[in-house]
Structure 1
């Protein structure tokens, strides 16, 4: 077990991309009992041993001082944190104070981006709502409200040395390819960028490359998440929620599902992308050991992607 990330054994991408792993593999924010036995130290030790250089902040992390101290001790970069915005529901002025606090927190940790998802009407956290047939939809009047609000947040993020990256997400007002493209068209490219997530693109539209090709000029952060097709079809048939779908194994790490990651990886590289890609898979760590799946993902990354 490596107790600190060793640059000599870390993942080395020939195109300058930095590889990390999302904390949701260790513990879940939406279902508190899932992975509750894992600590920040467990995650950081696994990351250091596996050779992943960065991660994002989770809601279950300790104080900012302890988080910074422990991450630096293990040589792990804190890259970003999720922020739930309610611009349409509450108005931008109500959102700004908490968003500013989040940016100050991330600036303290040395992060470089803040992940934003509009949660007005979201059903992603409701266990009695089928994620495949129910999602909120913005009215024509609400689209510019969201876009203008995000531009305001983007300015605040930049003032704290951060890039706002918007996360298209199942069960939200910006889920589909068409919705994501529309949001990018309505927002200022100097203030709002995109977090591209393969898993949400595939489950949401059955199309990974269509969204990436349409938005490549806005992509500043990436999540590589795989999908188990039989589990996705099972969840559709049983009309499961987002939470129950992933608890029943719909998502997994790259190389363990049906997505061909050579296509998005090559496309990103060909367009000069050289920032972060985080391995992400919402799974129950009691069933899918994070270290084992992190190792599986690294083997796939190095044998299949980095040899292209």
Structure 2
């Protein structure tokens, strides 16, 4: 088994949210960690990771100085920017061009900073219920994301997410039957929606070229470091080995009292499981 490269998402170093101006300007409605991304990068590098993933809002902040500050942070820490995470509603035709414009800006930034992957979540659940046509609209939007990514030399991935119309294993089958985008499994979200993440990795093996590992606790609900809680990430790692996965694994944790400690815990667990896999 080839040694996988490990990255960490910077979303744990502050409250998660979006740009408030996005309420009245859809093209500005990006994800954001309200925290010090330079500090996050230093902590992630010190925890032993080789790469970092950032939200689109944090990356697009770098447009102001031509990404000079972000380049300096990456250079100082030795980290690779592996992926940029974005998202959209995708099911409302009138605002889709605005959403795709923002995703294209994020993809431009990703390319400028040497990233390999563009990850998107989304597919809005309407207040009055999901319509069958929403899956067709989501699939069409995701195919546009593939085009945006491909034009910039990036690999595009869809990330099923709680609160969207793609949470459960059946909803995942429904969307992946309609679109050619890659599948970025987030193990905690899949488990919390009632899925078996290891089984889903095996089922969609030919669609997976980027992975999010995250822990999840059922009661009280919380996301936790990889290897803790009720999500069997050891089984997921074995499944990735069984399908011959090669590429980046990004550990992730939405909130934790000590973000650097969460990063270290998650990396130590994955390293142990990788060693166990190699010794089989």
For Structure 1 versus Structure 2, the TM-score category normalised by the shorter chain is 0.7 to 0.9
* Structure 1 residue 40, shift from structure 2 partner: 1.8
Superposed CA deviations along residues 246-286 of structure 1, whole A, max 9, x for unmatched, are xxxx11111222333221111112212111111111114xx
Q: What CA distance in whole angstroms lies between the structure 1 residues aligned with 2:172 and 2:68?
A: 36
Are the counterparts in 2 of residues 79 and 113 from structure 1 also a CA contact under 8 Å? yes
1:52 and 2:45 aligned:
no
Are the counterparts in 2 of residues 117 and 168 from structure 1 also a CA contact under 8 Å? yes
Provide the secondary structure at the position in 2 that maps to 1:282. coil
Q: 1:108 aligns with which of 95, 109, 112?
A: 112
* Structure 1 residue 169, shift from structure 2 partner: 0.1
Q: What CA distance in whole angstroms lies between the structure 1 residues aligned with 2:40 and 2:197?
A: 29
Higher mean alpha-carbon deviation, 81-90 vs 18-27, is at 81-90
Q: 1:88 aligns with which of 88, 91, 100?
A: 91
1:256 and 2:260 aligned:
no
Q: 1:274 aligns with which of 223, 228, 246?
A: 246
How many equivalent residue pairs? 258
Structure 1: 5+ residue stretches without partners: 1-13, 123-134, 233-249
Q: What CA distance in whole angstroms lies between the structure 2 residues aligned with 1:142 and 1:35?
A: 29
Query: When the two structures are superposed, what TM-score results if normalisation uses the length of structure 1?
Result: 0.77
The alignment yields a C-alpha RMSD, in angstroms, of: 2.3
* Structure 1 residue 136, shift from structure 2 partner: 7.9
Are the counterparts in 2 of residues 20 and 276 from structure 1 also a CA contact under 8 Å? yes
Structure 2: 5+ residue stretches without partners: 20-31
* Structure 1 residue 119, shift from structure 2 partner: 4.3
Q: What CA distance in whole angstroms lies between the structure 1 residues aligned with 2:89 and 2:223?
A: 27
Q: What CA distance in whole angstroms lies between the structure 2 residues aligned with 1:293 and 1:86?
A: 30
Match of 2:274 in 1: 305
Are the counterparts in 1 of residues 107 and 152 from structure 2 also a CA contact under 8 Å? yes
1:79 and 2:82 aligned:
yes
Are the counterparts in 2 of residues 153 and 164 from structure 1 also a CA contact under 8 Å? yes
Q: 2:220 aligns with which of 228, 231, 243?
A: 231
* Structure 1 residue 82, shift from structure 2 partner: 1.7
Match of 1:8 in 2: none
Match of 2:148 in 1: 156
Query: When the two structures are superposed, what TM-score results if normalisation uses the length of structure 2?
Result: 0.84
Match of 1:166 in 2: 158
* Structure 1 residue 211, shift from structure 2 partner: 2.1
Q: 1:197 aligns with which of 166, 186, 195?
A: 186
1:217 and 2:217 aligned:
no
Superposed CA deviations along residues 52-86 of structure 1, whole A, max 9, x for unmatched, are 11111133454232112211221101111222223
Match of 2:6 in 1: 19
Provide the secondary structure at the position in 2 that maps to 1:173. coil
